[in-house]
């Protein structure tokens, strides 16, 4: 029972890392830039959130398979394939959970006061420094929310993972897959134990996010000028 848990955590963490890097870049661009076809691009980004996971899995299978554009390239140049490996599970989880990361990060960037960034520019700060020292810290609460929600979604990914990674015990069998096939084989004890594990992990992630957000808001209110004045009076 331990193998699916370890693999699921590894897949979810790597998928979230991918979502974090790509999500920040895409969300920052979409929050601040206007261009022709922006609505179309954003619709494509959010599409994995509403499409059935099996549809996404089929699309990834066509893309990453031996005859697909990416799969054939990797097979010909590097003599390797992604389908039915744990990396396929990572890709499936990253694609499915990406809209959550994107939406949270975009909202967080949009909420940052652009005048603060402009002030940093007038002082001679470069764009990278502005992003790391001004934009990112101010947007961090929303970005963190996206990370946690993406992690929970990646942890529970099933349909797309089954399509592109299969159910190979010890290699691609994540917790959701192990639960499904345990029920199918009549092993209700294993299924029940895994349900408890993934429920605890997902609940702990969301519970921590809520706890952190409340503490953050409480600290902000406590340090605000209005609170300080009321305390002095």
Q: Encode the chain in three state secondary structure.
A: CHHHHHHHHHHHHHHHHHHHHHHHHHHHHHHHCCCCCHHHHHHHHHHHHHCCHHHHHHHHHHHHCCCCHHHHHHHHHHCCCCCCCHHHHHHHHHHHHHHHHHHHHHHHHHCCCHHHHHHHHHCCCCHHHHHHHHHHHHHHHHHHHHHHHHHHHHHCCCHHHHHHHCCCCCCCCCHHHHHHHHHHCCCHHHHHHHHHHHHHHHHHHHHHHHHHHHHHHHHHHHHCHHHHHHHHC
Q: What is the pLDDT of residues 140-196, one digit of tens each?
A: 999 999 999 999 999 999 999 999 999 999 899 999 999 999 999 999 999 999 999
Q: For 74-94, what is each residue's pLDDT tens digit? A: 999 998 999 999 999 999 999
Cβ neighbours of residue 175 under 8 Å, at least 6 residues apart? 4, 5, 8, 155, 156, 194, 197, 198
Q: For 101-115, how does the pLDDT look when each residue is reduced to its tens digit (9 = 90+)?
A: 999 999 999 999 999
**pTM over the 0.95 mark:** no
**Two tokens, residue 129:** 């420094």
pLDDT of residue 223: 60
Q: What is the CATH number of domain 2-173?
A: 1.10.3720.10
Q: What is the pLDDT of residues 44-59, one digit of tens each?
A: 999 999 999 999 999 9
Q: Is the pLDDT of residue 228 over 50?
A: no
Domain-wise residue ranges, the chain: 2-173
pLDDT higher than 50, residue 233: no
Alpha-carbon span 177 to 179, nearest angstrom = 5
* CB-CB contact of 194 with 178 (8 Å): yes
Could you give the count of Cα atoms lying within 13 Å of 217 in the half-sphere of its Cβ? 6
Place of tokens 């261009």: 35
51: left (phi over 0), alpha (psi -120 to 50) or beta: beta
pLDDT per residue over 8-47, tens digit each? 999 999 999 999 999 999 999 999 899 999 999 999 999 9
């Amino acid at each position: 029972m331990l193998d699916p848990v370890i693999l699921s955590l590894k897949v979810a963490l790597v998928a979230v890392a991918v979502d974090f890097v790509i999500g920040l870049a895409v969300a920052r661009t979409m929050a601040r830039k206007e261009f022709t076809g922006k609505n179309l691009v954003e619709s494509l980004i959010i599409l994995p959130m509403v499409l059935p996971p099996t549809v996404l899995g089929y699309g990834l299978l066509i893309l990453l398979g031996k005859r697909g554009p990416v799969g054939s390239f990797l097979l010909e140049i590097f003599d390797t394939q992604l389908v039915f490996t744990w990396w396929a599970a990572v890709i499936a989880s990253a694609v499915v959970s990406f809209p959550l990361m994107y939406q949270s990060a975009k909202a967080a960037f949009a909420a940052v006061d652009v005048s603060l960034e402009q002030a940093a520019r007038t002082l001679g700060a470069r764009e990278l420094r502005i992003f790391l020292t001004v934009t990112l810290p101010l947007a961090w609460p929303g970005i963190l929310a996206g990370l946690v929600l993406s992690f929970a979604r990646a942890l529970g990914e099933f349909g797309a993972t089954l399509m592109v990674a299969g159910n190979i015990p010890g290699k691609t069998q994540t917790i959701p897959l192990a639960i499904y096939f345990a029920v199918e084989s009549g092993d209700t004890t294993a299924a029940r134990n895994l349900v408890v594990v993934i429920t605890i992990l997902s609940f702990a992630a969301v519970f921590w996010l809520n706890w952190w957000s409340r503490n953050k808001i409480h600290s902000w209110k406590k340090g605000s000028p209005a609170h300080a004045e009321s305390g002095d009076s």
